[in-house]
Amino acid sequence: MISQTRIEFEKRLHEFGVSYRMHDRDFYVISKQSDSGNHLTVQLISSMPVEKLVHGSKNGNDVQAIGLFKFKLISSEQEPVIFAFAFQNSFKNQVEIIIIPTLEFLRRHVKMKSQRPCHKRIELVLWFMEDGFVYDATNISLESEWYFLSKGVGGRMADGTDLDFTSFLDSWERLKL
């Protein structure tokens, strides 16, 4: 059975004007419809089922959608150029897609976890906030949530930091060749 996130991802690829072929289960080789020479490898990672009590806000922050991703990095010769994290936003009845270059994701992940994740299982929890911002809330503590993700007068402390994934939300231009 094909997931709703995969259907939506492929629909948006078509709307963006690129052609694709499936290389492996969740790997796409993307190219311009007019150019078969240049291509990108994108790994689509769909959210696992989420338990709001476990993965949601503990401080009453308005989280509209939660994405829970668990995956293992593959060997570097097969490493995708781009990760696409897709999760359902039931409130808006749509799929949210984060499109982030693999190297940028790994830089952020290593910085947050203080170790290179090669051949290790990676867990990522993304919160799509009511105001449209997206944050990495993986293993966030009660105090960190309050400090970084509670919205104050000037915004959130996480704005513009490595916790902030908002600029990668629906960033289809990253797939331009």
Task: State residue 173's pLDDT score.
Answer: 93
Tell me which of 58-67, 91-100, 106-115, 151-160 is least confident: 106-115
Better pLDDT: 53 or 9: 9
Task: State residue 57's pLDDT score.
Answer: 93
In the numeric block, the tokens 């693999």 are attached to: 102
174 vs 58: CA distance, rounded Å: 34
Q: Which of 5-19, 27-41, 72-86 has the highest mean pLDDT?
A: 5-19
One DSSP character per residue, 83-116 reads: EEEEEEETTTTEEEEEEEEHHHHHHHHHHHHSS-
Domain count, the chain: 1
Closest CA to 57 of 131, 128, 153: 128
Better pLDDT: 3 or 111: 3
pLDDT bin (cut points 50, 70, 90) of residue 112 is: low
CB distance 122 to 110 below 8 Å: no
Q: Which domain, by its residues, includes 83?
A: 4-175
**Helix or strand or coil: residue 128?**
strand
Mean pLDDT of all residues belonging to the chain:
88
One DSSP character per residue, 8-47 reads: HHHHHHHHHTEEEEEEETTEEEEEETT-SS--EEEEEEEP
Neighbouring residues of 166: CB distance < 8 A, sequence distance ≥ 6: 132, 133, 134, 135
| pTM score | 0.89
Q: Could you read off the pLDDT of 133-154 as tens digits, one per residue?
A: 999 999 999 999 999 998 877 7
